[in-house]
Chain A
Amino acid sequence: MKASSRRQSWLIALPVIVLLLWTVVYPNAAVIAGSFENGLGHWREFAASPADREALWTSLVISVASVFASLAIGVPLAFLLGRFEFPGRRLLRAVATLPAALPPLVGVIAFLFLYGESGLVTRVVQRVLGMAEAPWRLKGVGAIVFVHAYTMYVYVFLFVSAGLERFDATLDEAASGLGANTWQRLRRVTLPLLMPAVAGSALLVFMNALGSFSAPYVFGGGLRVLSTQILASKTNGAMGLAYVETTVLALSAVAGLVLFRWLDRKRRYTLASKGGRSRRTIGSRRIQILTTVASAVIVVALVLPHLMVILVSFARDGAWTTQVLPPEYTFENYRRLFSESELWKPITNSVSMALIATAANLVVCFIAGYLIVLRKFGGRGLLELLVALPWAIPATAIALGLAATFNRNDLLTGRVLLVGTFWILPLAYFIRDIPLVASAVESSLRQMDASLEDAARGLGASWMMTMRRVILPAARPGLVAGGLLAAVTAVGEFVASVVLYTHSNRPISMEILAQLRALAFGTAAAYSVLLIFLVLLMTLAARSFEERLA
Chain B
Amino acid sequence: MKLTLTSLCIALALFPLHKAHASAPATLLDMPLESLMDMQVTTASRFAQKASQAPSAVSIVTAEDIRTHGWQSLAEILGSLRGLYLSDDHNYTYVGVRGFSPPGDYNNRILLLINGHRVNDSVYDQALVAHEFQIDTALIERVEFVPGPGSALYGSNALFGVINVITRQGADLQGYELAGGLGSHGERQRRATLGHKQEDGTDLLMSISQVRGDGQDWTFPGSGTASGVDGEQSDRFFASLEKGAWNLNVSYVNRKKQVPTGAYGTDFNDPANATTDGMGFVDLQYRAAANEKLEWSARLYYDQSWFTGTYVYSGVHNRDEAEGARWGGEWQAVSTQFDRHHLVFGLSYREDFTQDQRNFDVAPYASYLDSAHSARKYGLYLQDEWALTSALTASLGVRQDHHSRAGDFLSPRLALLWQAGENTMLKAIYGTAYRAPNVYEMYYTTADALPNPDLQPEEITTYELIAEHLDPRGIRLSAGLFQYRICDLITQKSEAGMLIFRNEPHAQANGLDLEAERLWSNGRRARVSYTLENTEDGSGNRLVNAPRHLFKALFSTPLFDTRLRLGTELLAFSQRRSLSGGHTAGFGIVNMNLAAERLLPGLEISLAIRNLLDKPYAVPAGSEQSVDALPQTGRSLRLNLAYRF
Binding between chains A and B? no
